[in-house]
Amino acid sequence: MADNETSDSELDHDAFEAQCRAGITAWVAEHFDGEVVDVERLERWRPQWKVTYRSADGERSVLFRGNRPIAPVESLRFEMQVMQVLEANGIRVPHIYGWVESPVAFVMDWVDTEDRAPGMLHTAIDNPTTMSDERWRATLSYIDHLAEVHAVPVSEFAHISRLANPPETPSDIALHAVEHMYGLGSMMGNIDSTLEFLQVWLRRNAPTHRDQVHFLAGDAGQFMSHGADVMALLDFEIANVGDTHWDLACFRGRHPYENMGDIPALYRRYGEVTGEDVDLPVVCYYTVAFLQLAVIGATFFMMPEIRGANWLEGILERASISRRALEAIAELHEVELDHDLHLPEPNPDPFELSGLSKLVTDIGRLPTSSAFAPWERELLQAIPEFLLNYSRYRGWFERATVGDIEAMLGTSFDDLSTADAALLDVIGSNDPARDDELIALLHRRALRLSMIVAGTDPDENNPFFYILEPILKL
């Protein structure tokens, strides 16, 4: 933040947006000798603006990519530096024009494409993505680009502090990213019994035969295309160094919320391009790692004090992605999971029903503006809508979960809190003989929460309930 910039906590939404636009206008004038024609704030979980300006060279657009409200500024600068290294090594990323102090952002080329989906789960549920023939050809082509990304020497990133000391042993390579994210989650008190089990399992099952370190996109599969052509690779904010199979697992983790096409075919293409056979059990392992990292990240979206943090996206990901991480382990363990669960009759508290219904109604009446767009109002309104559903089914959720824990441990508990404490003790014992029953128990819990979020029984036609597609027995 510049010295003369007012803290965003001291500004109302309109004043904050006006301050951002003033900074954008000044930066364009100084660096492009241009006049801003239009500023469009994009529907994302981070501030981003498509900025169209006019200069002596004509009219063109750039993207001001702002920082996630939950992340330190260093995270945004890290992404910019990574993209600059990739561009210098011939990787097809948008050109970076520079850093902006107000608003905190960096500026890069705007990439025109047929589809700029917001990349959020709540939009994917309402508007499931499809895979056209052209997009599929582009996705196959992206695999070639990803192989080129992996071939950039790790030493090229040595000046970037987060990438300066790559892991060396197989265990450190496997756990490099998840230990960091787990530590952040623990510091914030966001590690529940499911996330603790995933971390214990990841530590115990780290591949011991993978000792090669490569630069990783971190959240692979994100790219812009035009027809069958890959225009640009994007989103390197969680780039890292480690096993290439982490990036391959990203396709599986994102699909089919974001339709990635024929996943096994993508893995075969990667093997053809690199000459390295894809180790599918290792991809399964990194599917768990990638999804666990995503769930811990989602808990930060729900921080109430952060301007613009997407609470709805956080609860959606926490419910569904943790469920899918457990499905990845279940495939490796050959555990049959129970998807045949049913919501009971709703039993809401009358005060909660009345008060939350009032919030839903009044939020829907709030005026919108350039600083408080209709999509932001909808996200805000979705919070009391979820809490209404939670009020209707909370008693069932807690009784069923406590019942599962009691059946597993052979002990009675007064409430979910004490039952969870006992469950954490079992998880902490790190007994692999307990894994299968823990997988089934925690998956039922995550599925129940997903049912409360959706307000319906599991439905294979609802994208929110899509089951992680298996890859080991194809």
Contact (CB, 8 A) for 270 and 9 = no
pLDDT at 6: 46
What value, to the nearest 5°, has the Cα angle with vertex 104 and ends 102 and 109?
A: 100
pLDDT digits (tens, 9 = 90+) for 27-64: 999 999 999 999 998 866 678 999 999 999 999 999 99
Q: Position of tokens 């050809």?
A: 137
pLDDT at 5: 45
Question: How far, in Å, CA of 237 to CA of 67, rounded?
Answer: 10
Question: How far, in Å, CA of 233 to CA of 91, rounded?
Answer: 8
pLDDT at 376: 84
Topology (CATH) of 119-166+213-278: Aminoglycoside 3'-phosphotransferase; Chain: A, domain 2 (3.90.1200)
pLDDT at 11: 54
Q: Position of tokens 């006992």?
A: 422
pLDDT digits (tens, 9 = 90+) for 140-190: 999 999 999 999 999 999 999 999 999 999 999 999 999 999 999 999 899
Residue 115: which residues within 8 A CB-CB, separation 6 or more? 135, 225
Q: Position of tokens 């309109």?
A: 14
- DSSP run (H or E) holding 388: helix 374-409
- DSSP run (H or E) holding 281: helix 280-301
pLDDT at 10: 47
Question: How far, in Å, CA of 227 to CA of 127, rounded?
Answer: 20
- Its pTM stands at 0.91
230-256 in b/e form (b: 16+ CB < 10 A) is: bbbbbbbbbbbbbbbbbbbbbbbbbbb
pLDDT at 7: 47
Instruction: Let me know if the fold of 8-109 is the same as that of 119-166+213-278.
Output: no
Evaluate if residue 256 carries a pLDDT over 70: yes
Question: How far, in Å, CA of 269 to CA of 12, rounded?
Answer: 50
Question: How far, in Å, CA of 220 to CA of 239, rounded?
Answer: 9
Domain residue spans of the chain? 8-109, 119-166+213-278, 184-208+293-474
pLDDT at 2: 42
Residue 134: which residues within 8 A CB-CB, separation 6 or more? 225, 227, 228
**pLDDT average, residue stretch 369-393:** 90
pLDDT digits (tens, 9 = 90+) for 260-295: 999 999 999 999 999 999 999 999 999 999 999 999
Class of domain 8-109: alpha beta
Question: How far, in Å, CA of 77 to CA of 104, rounded?
Answer: 10
**pLDDT average, residue stretch 375-385:** 91
Which is more confidently placed, 374 or 275? 275
Instruction: Express as a percent the part of the chain with pLDDT over 70.
Output: 92
